Structures are given as C-alpha cells and as structure tokens.
Amino acid sequence: MKQSRVWVFAIAVAMAGATAVRAQDQLPAPSPIEKTLAARATHVTEVTLDKTMLAFASKFMDGKGEDGKEDKDEQAVKQMIQGLQGVYVREYEFDKDHSYSAEELDGLRKYFENSSWSPMVRERTKGEAKGTDVYVKLVDNKMQGLFVLDAEPKELSLVLILGPVDIEALGKLGGNFGIPKDAMKKAQKEATK
C-alpha cells in the first residue's frame, strides 16, 4: 500500500514537472493590453504557430534558392524553424499617429522583464512613444528565445520566437510567417555586434 502511494506521488511529480516545462515553451495568452490595442487598430494581423504547425511550415521550404540550387541560408532557416517551439506575431495598424501610449508599451515589455529574459536592444525617440526593444532568452549561454517590440507612429509589431534561435538565419526569417523584415534585421545586427 505504501509502495503504491510512492508510485502515485512519483508519477504526479513527473507530470507536474512535464507540465511546467511545457508551459515554459508554450506561447503566452494575449495580454489585456493587446485586446485594447486590437479594438483601436484599423487592421490587426495575428499569426500563431506552434511546434506542429512550424514542422508543417518547414515542409514548404526545400532549402533551395530561386535558381533551384542548394542554398545554405535557406537550409539554415529551415533547420531553425524545425527546432522552434513557437512563433507568435501580432501587428496592429492605426489610422492616427501614436494611437498607443508609453504605458501600454511598458505593459507589453513587462512580460519579458524577468530573470530568464535579458534586454538586448533598447531604441527610443525622445518625446515620442516609438522605439524598438529586443529581448533574448538565454539558457546556458544559448539563445532560446527572442522577443521584438517595434513601435512605429502608425504601427505596432510584436514578435515572439520560442526555441533555439540561429542568429545567422534570423534575418532571413523576416518576411516569413508575418514577421517584419526590418525588425528581424535590426535584431540580427545588434546580436552579432
């Protein structure tokens, strides 16, 4: 009887551990700020890709360039996509300049201001709410996640990539899955400094 209780306890601990690990890799639920931004925006694009969908998306990449020959960059992007846990993109377009406040941007950043995420880029324009923030998640000195918040006068983009990130392939990821090209190139430039 005692032995079976030990087994039940062990299984419960293992399941709880597995759930915690899984929760860390899962894409976050949208924050209330995102809901208010979406209500104000004229156009909203939401892209949510979990591991399964990324695996399928990678099938549409054959690692070849436009000339049909093997392309190392394309192969690196394909390999990176296959290893990712999730991609989460939100793009809000507004009809008026600065339709979001500095407090709202702070609220969006707050999610990543914890021990596992470190700020890598912080670009601000004096007197304006616009700017770019890049946060990275480092595990054993390896990049295991990337968050980009790019605020333009009429546009706000959030990109969250979970899983091992290859800096070399990062720039090429822009333009795919709704990920803004400029934001990815900016993040790649800063990361390779």
42 is an interface residue for other proteins by CB under 8 A: yes
Q: Compute φ and ψ for 40, nearest 5 degrees.
A: -90, -25
- Least distance CB 177 / other proteins (angstroms): 9
Query: ∠101-105-107 over CA atoms, to 5°?
Result: 110
Stretch that binds other proteins, among 12-20, 52-60, 116-124, 133-141 (CB under 8 A): 52-60
- Contacts with 136 (C-beta within 8 Å, 6 or more apart), sequence order: 117, 118, 120, 143, 145, 146, 147, 165, 191
- Least distance CB 136 / other proteins (angstroms): 25
Whole-angstrom distance, CA of residue 147 vs CA of residue 155? 17
- Least distance CB 162 / other proteins (angstroms): 16
Subset of residues 145 to 184 that bind other proteins, contact rule: CB under 8 A: 178
- Least distance CB 129 / other proteins (angstroms): 20
**Choice between 61 and 76, CB closer to other proteins:** 61
**Choice between 54 and 129, CB closer to other proteins:** 54
141 is an interface residue for other proteins by CB under 8 A: no
Amino acid (1-letter code) at residue 185: K
Amino acid (1-letter code) at residue 143: M
Residue 49's CB: how many other CB atoms inside 10 A?
A: 21
53 is an interface residue for other proteins by CB under 8 A: yes
**Choice between 67 and 140, CB closer to other proteins:** 67
Residue 37's CB: how many other CB atoms inside 10 A?
A: 21
| CB of 87 closer than 8 Å to CB of 49 | yes
**Choice between 71 and 133, CB closer to other proteins:** 71
Binding site for other proteins (CB under 8 A): 38, 40-50, 52-53, 56, 59-62, 64, 66-68, 178
